[in-house]
Amino acid sequence: MPALRKSRSSVEDDVRAELELIRANVAGVRGSLAATIDGLVVAHDLPDVEPTQLAALAAATFSLASRATLLTGCGNFREAVSRGSDGYLAVYAAGDRAIVAVMGTSSLNVGMLQYRAREFIERVAAYAAQIGGRQATTRPAAGPKTARPAAKAAPDHDPAVAVDRPATVPALPRRPPGSAGAR
């Protein structure tokens, strides 16, 4: 088991080094964090923020933005940027298992961040392939039929999809292939 711990520590160290490079190479970056898509911290370079809270917010941002891009036909989620009165928060997909959140000051050059972050995000995604955890496409098996009566589900509703969705997000009906836009 010690070899497994060393391997995991090595991945965390490699990811942390990439996060430190983002701050060193892009003016205005305050810190960054890598997490699983479930919101578990992998590594961080955050001097003044609680990493577990930011990981949870980044995972929620990823989840909501992913749903929005798919629903609107924009494809798979790549990034989301929020601008506040005192700075920026950018969340990037790093492969299908991880996300990277970058916090910036109000003087952050977002264009430069978008340009420079791509190379760092690609390397984090490569490291993320070594991180254990659930993949974005994995869904838990549906429970027994008695736990969710079929009469309560919409006719075009897939209960296996709803199991993975937080209770606060309403289920969207699934359309059969080839019926997009047709009613």
- Amino acid at the residue 29: V
pLDDT tens, position by position, 48-72? 889 999 999 999 999 999 999 999 9
Residues 77 and 6 in one domain: yes
Write the DSSP string, 57-119: HHHHHHHHHHHHHHHTT--S--EEEEEETTEEEEEEEETTTEEEEEEEETT--HHHHHHHHHH
Q: If you average pLDDT over residues 42-47, what whole number do you get?
A: 92
Q: How many CB atoms within 10 Å of residue 127?
A: 23
Q: What is the pLDDT, as a whole number, of residue 176?
A: 53
Q: What's the total number of domains in the chain?
A: 2
Q: How many CB atoms within 10 Å of residue 28?
A: 18
Residues 19 and 98 in one domain: yes
Residues 165 and 75 in one domain: no
Q: How confident is the model at residue 11 (pLDDT cuts 50, 70, 90)?
A: confident
Does some domain include residue 182? no
- Amino acid at the residue 113: L
Q: What is the pLDDT, as a whole number, of residue 167?
A: 44
Q: What is the pLDDT, as a whole number, of residue 131?
A: 66
pLDDT > 80? residue 116: yes
Range of the domain at 32: 2-128
Residues 110 and 167 in one domain: no
Give the orientation angle of helix 2-25 with respect to helix 110-128, to 10 degrees. 170
